[in-house]
Amino acid sequence: MINILMSGCNGKMGQVISRMAAESEDLMIAAGYDKYTKINNTYPVFDDLEKCDVKVDVIIDFSNPDALDGLLSYSVKNKTPLIVATTGLSPNQVNKLREVSEAIPVFFSANMSLGVNLLMDLVKKAAKVLEYNFDIEIIEKHHNQKIDAPSGTALAIADEINSALSEKQEYVYDRHSRRKKRSKKEIGIHAVRGGTIVGEHSVVFAGTDEIIEINHIATSKEIFATGALSAARFLYNKKPGFYNMNDLISETN
């Protein structure tokens, strides 16, 4: 049995993962961490990681960037593998994750779904072929409770595209403050927020008289929970290192 500490356990993702872990035979949530503690869970919930006296094998984090420092200290002190799915981290926080991955296994992904990771591969291929004649714009849509914008996934898609292009493009967020024509050296990134949209990402390659669009639509949060639980199985007993969905997909396929 792999014992998990669920960080952000009382949030939307934390609750979906708790339900799915309870249905699994090899994983259980042994403890939770959340600053909001007014929900009854089947496991003990701590509002301070220093108070957590439950021994766990892996941490899964779907919370807020504010929680990261405490999680890193706890993980390093207890040598506990850490899965970070929280988005909106600063570049400095991502660097810290890389640093601690020299001491403990760290898994970081802005999107735990298999589909989005396939989309990233397809988009990279398209970007290489269309590099010189097509303008690239990314549009993401999420529910009205989402805090960060643009989504971590939209930024990760833009990074993947940039890694495939011969010349690095500048990211342009929305366009309301710009009063000039679009340049050839940019990737536009746009966020839509409303209702209960689970998560949609669309990459538009707009050329002269033709448009190619590659889309991913999440219709339930369970796809992210499935990915996070697979990441827990993957990271348990791994050597220190910085892992992502590509490592998980190549090991399991």
Ligand X SMILES: NC(=O)C1=CN([C@@H]2O[C@H](COP(=O)(O)OP(=O)(O)OC[C@H]3O[C@@H](n4cnc5c(N)ncnc54)[C@H](O)[C@@H]3O)[C@@H](O)[C@H]2O)C=CC1
Extract the annotated binding site. 8-13, 85-87, 109-112, 143, 152-153
The residues in 31-60 that bind ligand X, with binding defined as CB under 6 A, are 33-36
For residue 142, indicate whether it is catalytic: yes
11 scored as a contact of ligand X (CB under 6 A): yes
Residue 248: CB minimum distance to ligand X, A: 12
Least distance from ligand X to the Cβ atom of residue 247, Å: 15
Q: Is 98 helix (H, G, I), strand (E, B) or coil?
A: helix
Q: Which of 141, 146, 190, 216 is catalytic?
A: 146
Other C-beta atoms lying within 10 Å of the C-beta of residue 133? 12
- Residue closer to ligand LZUJQKHR by CB (options 35, 184) is 35
Contacts of residue 144, defined as CB under 8 A and 6 or more positions apart, other chains included, come to 193, 194, 195, 196
Residues β-bridged to residue 61 = 7, 84
CB atoms within 10 A of CB 15: 18
Q: How far apart are CA 51 and CA 56, in angstroms?
A: 14
The residue annotated as part of the active site, out of 142, 201, 216, 221, is: 142
For residue 103, which phi and psi values (nearest 5 degrees)? -105, -30
Give the residue with the Cβ less far from ligand X, 133 or 215: 215
Options 2, 6, 13, 158; binder of ligand X; rule CB under 6 A: 13
Taking contact as CB under 6 A, which single stretch among the options 84-92, 98-106, 202-210, 236-244 is the one that binds ligand X? 84-92
What are the helix (H) ranges across the chain? 12-22, 68-78, 91-100, 114-130, 152-164, 222-235, 245-252
Binding-site sequence positions for NAD(+): 8-13, 85-87, 109-112
Determine, following the binding rule CB under 6 A, whether residue 202 of this chain makes contact with ligand X: no
Per-position DSSP letters for 207-250, written without gaps between them = -SS-EEEEEEEE--THHHHHHHHHHHHHHTTPPSEEE-HHHHHH
Can 221 be counted among the known catalytic residues? no
Write the single-letter amino acid at 226: T
Instruction: Report, in Å, the least distance between residue 249 CB and ligand X.
Output: 14
Q: Which is nearer to ligand LZUJQKHR, 52 or 161 (CB)?
A: 161
* 224 sits near ligand X (criterion: CB under 6 A): yes
CB 232 within 8 A of CB 27: yes
| Binding flag, residue 230, ligand X (CB under 6 A) | no
Residue type present at position 59 = I
Q: Is 220 in the site for ligand X (CB under 6 A)?
A: no
Q: Minimum distance between the CB of residue 178 and ligand X, rounded to whole angstroms?
A: 27
3-state class of 92 per DSSP?
Answer: helix
Shortest distance, CB of residue 35 to ligand LZUJQKHR, whole angstroms?
17
- Active-site residue list: 142, 146
Which positions touch ligand X (CB under 6 A)? 8, 10-14, 33-36, 62-64, 66-67, 85-88, 109-112, 148, 152, 224
